[in-house]
Chains A and B, each alone.
Chain A
Amino acid sequence: MASGGRAGTAIWDWPVRLVHWSFVLLVPALWASAEFGNINAHRILGLVMLGLVVFRLLWGLIGSETARFSQFVKGPDAVMAYLRGARGGPNTPAVGHNPLGALSVLALLGLLATQVSIGLFTQDVDGLESGPLAYLVSYDTADAARGWHELGFNLLLALIAIHLAAIAYYQFAKRENLVRPMITGRRVFDQSVRAPMMAPIWRFALCASIAAGLAWWIGQSAPLP
């Protein structure tokens, strides 16, 4: 029941923060490796991204409370109510994602998952390099996948722009710093809030093992026994 005092309440666990800031580093690195033609680096970073996305999706099922889809994904009514509240002045801050931000999380994660999946089947223009699963599809599909992969990146840029604009809006219009909690994991609330439940380490180990194993297996072109 404590608000956590001046130290704030722990709202983001370290796996959520680690994954988030890894995305921040990986997206430009993936872009650069593709742009400057280092396909080996692009493939390895892409597999790391795959592992992180899979981890985050699993963490959204059995991770800490604020990481769970069931906790932060709300219906359209809640989103509308939140929007009305946001216009009407200060409202009760959400502990974790607010109903509108939840849509942003879903869109970003969904697009990252789509983008990394398409990349697995993409081949480069020379037909020399290709994603680890390109051998499962036809030449024409692998060739078309390159176009979709480019389109996916541009959509991702658009979503990132919206994400950053929202953060700036909260910072300057609503005087709420959303960046700091994503770094420290803690946020100071004006009123007393219930501290969210944090998942035990064994759940992290489970999700991380599955994610890493899957990414490694796909990196080996998904061999069947």
Chain B
Amino acid sequence: LPARLRSIDDNERPGVEIMGVKRNVGIAAILAMLAMPVAHAAKPDQIIAKRQANFKQIGRSFKAMRDELQEEAPATAVLRTNAQTIDQAARQIARLFPRNTGPETGIKMEALAAIWAPGSTFSAEAASFTKLTASLRAAAASGDMARIKAATGALGGGCKSCHDKFKAD
């Protein structure tokens, strides 16, 4: 072993036992830190697939609502269920964009690198989007068609506002 690595195994230093060998505390801490995200987070491609499916779910439910609102007598149950789905999915958005899941992965996506750039307003967009989905959900629960229509339009504006900045054409 090179001297640099051998010093890590120095038993005379205070350390903890890992895999039967007493090791440096600092290394143990680093290993623990490295192990945590590996143990808890999925691989980038899985996260990317999950977030794309999540957006498609929002799209499907949003379309279902708009189509229902075109009906002469829209069914409130359809509106309510889909508004709930949208709201739940919207709350997942922020945590589905961890580092290293951007275009640099080489995976086909329309998410722009600007999402992860310093000073990005992406989290703020995601947060204001959940406010819109919450009010859509509340509107759908009320069954007031005028309110639902207004909230649907506002939600569309929310989609657009974020897409304009962070989604490729």
Contacts and interface: CB of A to CB of B under 8 A. Distances in A.
Interface string B151-165: 000001101100100
A135 B70 contact: yes
Contacts of B56: 139-140, 143
A158 B77 CA distance: 48
A127 B63 contact: yes
Contact of B63 (A123, A125, A221): A123
A127 B156 contact: yes
Contacts of A140: 56, 60
B159 A139 contact: no
B22 interface: no
Nearest to A125: B163
Contacts, number: 36
B156 A128 contact: yes
Query: Interface SS of chain A: helix, strand, loop or mixed?
Result: mixed
A221 B70 contact: yes
21 contacts: A125-B163, A125-B167, A125-B169, A126-B156, A126-B163, A127-B59, A127-B63, A127-B66, A127-B156, A128-B159, A128-B160, A134-B63, A135-B66, A138-B60, A138-B63, A139-B56, A139-B60, A139-B64, A140-B56, A143-B56, A221-B70
Given A127-B66, A143-B59, 19 more contacts: A123-B63, A125-B163, A125-B167, A125-B169, A126-B156, A126-B163, A127-B59, A127-B159, A128-B156, A128-B157, A128-B159, A134-B63, A135-B66, A135-B67, A135-B70, A138-B63, A139-B56, A140-B56, A140-B60
Interface of B: 56, 59-60, 62-64, 66-67, 70, 156-157, 159-160, 163, 167, 169
